[in-house]
Structure 1
Amino acid sequence: MQLDKYDKRIIALLVEDARQSVSDIGRQINLSRSAVTDRIKRMEEKGYITGYHAHINYGSALAVSAYFSITFRPLSCELIQPYIDALAEVKLAHSISGDVDLMLLVEAPSMTRLNEIRSEMDQWPNVAKVVTHMCLSSRLERV
């Protein structure tokens, strides 16, 4: 299935605000409510839209974020998937190319909790190296 300009615009609008009504989306892209509904349903069924999420603001100056780059020996991303799934603080997990095998974005309510998570990662199977990259400020967020 190819996404046309309307599908791409619908996705962009949903990323911007997933709570806006189908009617509002239709008005913005000049399609009927039923046409937008059909397109959204089709994109959900085909796996282009996989869900609608609330972004949580911890509401505290103590909230911290960090990227963790993880290298395995031997490679075992599938083996540690249950560990990743068990941590609600993991917001993104990507297998990547290069010297690093996995990149995780973790958002925690405190530095203490972030340190606990980092310590847990050291216990995951086949972990050869974990590097922590602290987020100093947010420049753009579309997740």
Structure 2
Amino acid sequence: MPDSTQIDAFDRKILALLQHDARLTNNDLSERVNLSPSQCSRRRQRLEEEGYVRGYRAVLDRDRLGFGLVNVVTVTLSTHNRDNARRFAELVSRLPEVQEAHALTGEMDYILKVVTRDLKALAAFVNDVLLPHESVQHVKTAIVLETLKETTSLPL
């Protein structure tokens, strides 16, 4: 695992700029961080190779693509053992509707961020996919009324 103490202020600035706009060229970066394009290129490549940059992707407009509902789904497993948790993790990894999945401490075992086109699709997801799965005991859903903040940016 990379050690964040191995990166300097230039690296942090490059990472901050890239997480805002991954399409920046090395020339663009060099102008903004006051390094030569070749230095920016070497630093960017090292940051990628060392795993500080895990990938690049486009952020798509969920509403324009017809995924009008964002849902928070909590799941309690039927039994608490390693095999059951593994089976649930395998299920979640195969479901494109699940954008995030987190194991929790406390009353619920998992919380999922799920996108669906509408209420009918949410009902099908819960009733036809989650509830019948052997690892799942209980599911609760909540529909997001408004998203106040959504980001993947880290506070560099």
TM-score of the superposition, structure 2-length normalised?
0.76
Runs of 4+ more than 6 Å apart: none
Q: Report what 1:142 is aligned to.
A: 151
Quote the Cα distance in structure 1 between the aligned partners of 2:134 and 2:15.
37
Quote the Cα distance in structure 2 between the aligned partners of 1:118 and 1:134.
13
Please provide the CA RMSD for this pair: 2.3
When residues 110 and 80 of structure 1 are mapped into structure 2, their CA distance, relative to the original with a 3 A threshold, is: same
2:89 to 52, 66, 81: 81
Unaligned runs of 5+ in 1: none
The one-letter code sitting in structure 1 at the alignment partner of 2:69 is V
Q: Report what 1:131 is aligned to.
A: 140
The question of whether the paired residues in 2 share the 8 Å contact of 1:77 and 1:95 is answered with no
Q: Identity across aligned pairs (percent)?
A: 27
When residues 39 and 126 of structure 1 are mapped into structure 2, their CA distance, relative to the original with a 3 A threshold, is: same
Q: Report what 1:63 is aligned to.
A: 68
Larger Rg: 2
The question of whether the paired residues in 1 share the 8 Å contact of 2:97 and 2:115 is answered with yes
1:46 equivalent in alignment to 2:46: no
Within a 5 Å distance, the mapping from 1:12-31 to structure 2 comes to 12-31=16-35
1:62-121, CA deviations, whole angstroms, 9 ceiling, x for partnerless residues? Answer: 611012122222143322223222221211122232222222111222222222222211
The question of whether the paired residues in 2 share the 8 Å contact of 1:62 and 1:111 is answered with no
1:18-45, CA deviations, whole angstroms, 9 ceiling, x for partnerless residues? Answer: 2222322232222222222222322222
Q: Answer with 54-63 or 20-29: which moved more.
A: 54-63
